[in-house]
A and B are shown apart, each in its own frame.
Chain A
Amino acid sequence: MINLYQFIPEIFILSLILITLCFGLFNKDRAISLNTLGLILLSILLFNYGKDFYSSTQLSLNTINLFVLSKIILSIGSIVFILLLKRPLKNENLYRYEYVLFILFAILGSFVLISSNNFLTAFIGLELQSLSLYLMAAFNTKNLSSNEAGIKYFSLGALSSGFLLFGISMIYYDTGSFNIQNLDNFTAISEIGLSLVLISLFFKVSAAPFHIWTPDVYEGSPTISTLFFATLPKFASLIFLFRVYQELYIYDIKSLNYIFQMVCAISLLVGVYGAITQKVIKRLLAFSSINHIGFMLLGIMSYQFMSEGTLFFYLIIYLITTFGIFAVLLNLRTVDGEFTKISQLNGLRFTSNSKSISMLVFFFSLAGIPPFAGFFAKFFILSASINDGFIFLSIIAVLSSVIAAFYYLTIIKNMFFNKLEIELLDDNNKTGKVIFIASGLIITLFFIYPDPLINLVDNLFK
């Protein structure tokens, strides 16, 4: 008899999806509020009883904590996202309640992916997540570039899924098991299979050199979908990547460890070099996310020293910052539609205090300048990696963050130093405003009062 207790979060979301589907037939507007309520309930459940769900399993305490924390983060993130999406979708005439279903399916996929102990389950989770993402990319069906983004994302994503399946089958051929845990008796075939699995996961988190889709998809999709790609699914895939790294002791497998290090270094460098010349803000953010993925991979590799806390801390800060930046971007519009170019930010300082100052905070934080939280995130990752002996990678990381500072400063320059040219329309989206001001405050005040965030990460790992 399978113990269904551990599937409560997934079952919860599945029933939420079904309820929304039925409810949506009669009242589409209410369906969204219902979702929000349901997800709030889910995060409360996870927060209070999360560990009990898994108590009957044989997983280690660390893994259980990992599941619970990442699921809490995912559900809170999706609450914020659902609250944010109404206005931008209405602006583009895209407001349909099905969009929310995609999000729920993607979250369900992420949940399955995170807590899977089996490569096939992981594949199902990953596919469920990705299929919703392809649809979200192409959601603006009247826009050519949105269609292009969707098709690009789909075809390349399908290719990477092929890699994943092929890799899994090679591992199965070699070891006769789909299990992620307790996979031993390695031969070269399993190593090749694992490297194919890793390639597919690197594609999902858009680590270089598997990043080519990122800028195009980011640019073409509706901005609200871009926000989703940049945050929650990436977070889930990264957690799974971390689990693969941890459970399979890739640290000890020389060839795979080498691949990891190479991908980390290339991501750090490609991210910054790609971003320097970008003129479209979403492309710049795409490349900057590749650079940050480099940091996260560094965090994954050096988890042994300071536990997973450093990685999680970096992820949380990165999620908060990204939500903040996109909340600002979604709140700005040009006369023609969504605002795209960096040069359109010129003189934002003169039109909006709150937006320009929060953007200043976010970009300095991404650049890793103290006293903002982004600095501490990088600091902890670097502490862990230097202690684990990745000195060369750490040097690459800090030098890349100096180059990264250049293009973050360029954005700040546009906002603060340049003269106002075309006044951007203020969307006056109250939720968006609350979100970016709140994330700006978290990023800034962390310096003065770090305990809540640190404890959140810390307690779950003891």
Chain B
Amino acid sequence: MSFPILSLLILTPIIGALTLSLSSSTQLKNKTIFLSGLWITTGEFLLSLLLPIFYDKSKNGYQFIEFHTWFDKFDINYYVGVDGVSIPLILLTTFLVPICLLCSINSIQNRAKEFVIYFLLLESFIIGVFVSIDLVIFYVFFEAVLIPMFLIIGIWGGENRLYATFKFFLYTLAGSVLMLLAIIYIISKVKSGNIELISDFTFDQQIELVLFLCFFASFAVKVPMFPFHTWLPDAHVQAPTSGSVILAGVLLKLGAYGFIRLSLPFFEYASIYFQPMIFALSCVAIVYTSIVALRQLDMKKMIAYSSVAHMGFVTIGIFTLTQDGINGAYFQMISHGIVSAALFLIVGVVYERHHTRMISDYSGVTNVMPKYSFFFMVFMLSSVGLPGTSGFVGEFLVIMSTISVSVYLTFFTAIGVILGASYMLLLYKNINFGDLKSDIKQLADLTNIEIFYFSCLAFLTMILGIYPKLLFEMINKSISLSIL
């Protein structure tokens, strides 16, 4: 029995949350609570750094495996392990959660203890999704993520938060229950929830198509793909900054991760069969939401729509079913996780100072906040996909891989890149340049804490852009095994 690092990763935030909840709330100051939360999550981040260090890249299959029987009678087991596909996402999660807490020290004044507790629970549930290799426990964590997120948006959100949080919860739940039925059916057929065993099992073709659609319903809502994306702008606009960061940074990746981890290896025939549908939906997502983003007046909404467009690249890349495509999609996931999180933080910074998200209320910000403009530029360019930043690698690989499928597909994805550049540049121009408005003058530049986390994020985008091999080394082998 080796060191149970994965269980420790899941349990640390939960234990932290429990100790926090047992402490008396009246005596603790907000700052103390946030600091203790930060200590816990930073410890968690350091702990998760052990994963890439001790992960053996030369081996096939899952590592750090832990197995305990959970329900004897139903053959449901606590079965966790990681491979190259899950480790970067775990790192992304543990990296973003402390930043979420850091950015809300000032903005979250009321009910700070609850806030930190919900974030800790959220973190452990998300990690649970990424490490589980049994279907039932995967579903348990996948659904459990909804509870803290529902509360975070509902309690600390904007004026229309109830609508947004209900929409978020019910949309996701409606997708997930179909997946639950499919999971039950699969388990009844295969007599096991083990992901590896199910991958080897072949279903009847007709049934496989239905099962694929059930899984698709759940993941497409989570990603979100085109017709199911309407909850995302609402949730993003109403969520507090930290909520948007974790939503864009990690929660959207759960869907894409599900596609890679479950849909592709389980339903090989159906993945090819539904390829055209997914390409069509993703192309619509890329072009349509980019055009919608161009006309947005609200900064957060614009970035939310850009998220839909960027995740369109991810789904296209995944379903090209080539090594390059999936590599690119995966890279895009990680890069989007960092960049969109950073962009929401950028919006959060000015919102906290000026209390408005309307683009037209800002102008000439660069005159008073030069450091802010600098970081904004870095992330904007990365989102656009400038070579040298992380955004470029993913988009480039995806577009390259689409050529082998269809030139039209390449055409539409490339249009998406151009549209993406236009709305991001427009946003940057409108906010940072132009005449300095009188009420903008008193805005203070970034504080040291803000500079600290922005530089961390900027450093990550740069390093991934310049040396993408860092990530590819990790994922190559695992992905090549999960392809047909």
Q: Which residues of A does B touch, CB under 8 Å? A: 306, 309, 364, 369-371, 375-376, 379-380, 382-383, 386-387, 391, 394-395, 398-399, 401-402, 405-406, 409, 413, 416-417, 447, 450, 454, 458
Contacts and interface: CB of A to CB of B under 8 A. Distances in A.
B181 A369 contact: no
A416 B146 contact: no
A370 B179 CA distance: 14
B74 interface: yes
B209 interface: no
Contacts of B146: 369
B166 interface: yes
Interface in B128-161: 136, 139-141, 143-144, 146-147, 150-151, 154-155, 161
A401 B181 contact: no
Nearest to B177: A398
Contacts of A391: 181
A386 B211 CA distance: 14
Contacts of A386: 181, 184-185, 188
A375 B136 CA distance: 11
Contact of B181 (A380, A382, A405, A458): A382
A264 B70 CA distance: 31
Contacts of B151: 416
B180 A379 contact: yes
Contacts of B71: 376, 450, 454
A66 to B, nearest CB: 17
Interface string B165-189: 0100110011001101100110110
B154 A416 contact: yes
A200 B245 CA distance: 56
Contacts of A454: 71-73
A369 B147 contact: yes
A376 to B, nearest CB: 8
B162 interface: yes
A107 B154 CA distance: 44
A49 to B, nearest CB: 26
Contact of B74 (A380, A405, A413): A380
B184 A379 contact: yes
A401 B181 CA distance: 13
A364 B147 contact: yes
28 contacts: A309-B73, A369-B144, A369-B147, A369-B173, A370-B139, A370-B144, A371-B140, A371-B144, A375-B140, A376-B71, A383-B187, A383-B188, A386-B184, A394-B184, A398-B180, A399-B174, A402-B173, A402-B174, A402-B177, A405-B173, A413-B162, A413-B166, A416-B154, A417-B155, A417-B162, A450-B70, A458-B72, A458-B73
B169 A405 contact: yes
B170 A402 contact: yes
B155 A416 contact: yes
A398 B166 contact: no
A405 B170 contact: yes
Given A382-B181, A405-B169, A375 B143 contact: yes
Contacts of B143: 369-370, 375
A409 B166 CA distance: 8
Contacts of B141: 370-371
Contacts of A387: 188
A179 B406 CA distance: 72
Nearest to B140: A370
Interface in B178-226: 178, 180-181, 184-185, 187-188
A369 B71 CA distance: 18
Contacts of B70: 450
B191 to A, nearest CB: 11
Nearest to A406: B170
Given A369-B146, A371-B140, A454-B71, A398 B170 contact: no
Centre residue among A376, A379, A399, A454 by max chain B CB count within 10 A:
A379
Contacts of A409: 150, 166, 169-170
A417 B169 CA distance: 15
A398 B147 contact: no
Contacts of A447: 140
Contacts of A413: 154, 162, 166
A156 B70 CA distance: 46
A395 B71 CA distance: 24
A387 B186 CA distance: 10
Nearest to B182: A386
Contacts of A450: 70-71
Nearest to A376: B71
A398 B181 contact: yes
A408 to B, nearest CB: 10
Contact of A382 (B147, B150, B166, B180): B180
A383 B144 contact: no
A379 B177 CA distance: 10
Contacts of B170: 402, 405-406, 409
Contacts of A395: 181
Nearest to B175: A402
Nearest to A367: B173
Nearest to B73: A458
Contacts of A401: 177
A391 B140 CA distance: 22
Contacts of A417: 154-155, 161-162
A394 B181 contact: yes
Interface in B45-104: 70-74
Nearest to A405: B173
A405 B173 CA distance: 9
Nearest to B146: A369
Contacts of A379: 136, 180, 184
A34 B155 CA distance: 48
A416 B177 CA distance: 25
A149 B226 CA distance: 51
Cβ-closest 5 pairs across A and B: A398-B177, A370-B140, A417-B154, A370-B143, A402-B174
Contacts of B166: 406, 409, 413
A398 B162 contact: no
A409 B172 CA distance: 14
Contacts of A394: 181, 184
Nearest to B189: A387
B184 A382 contact: yes
Nearest to A461: B73
Contacts of B162: 413, 417
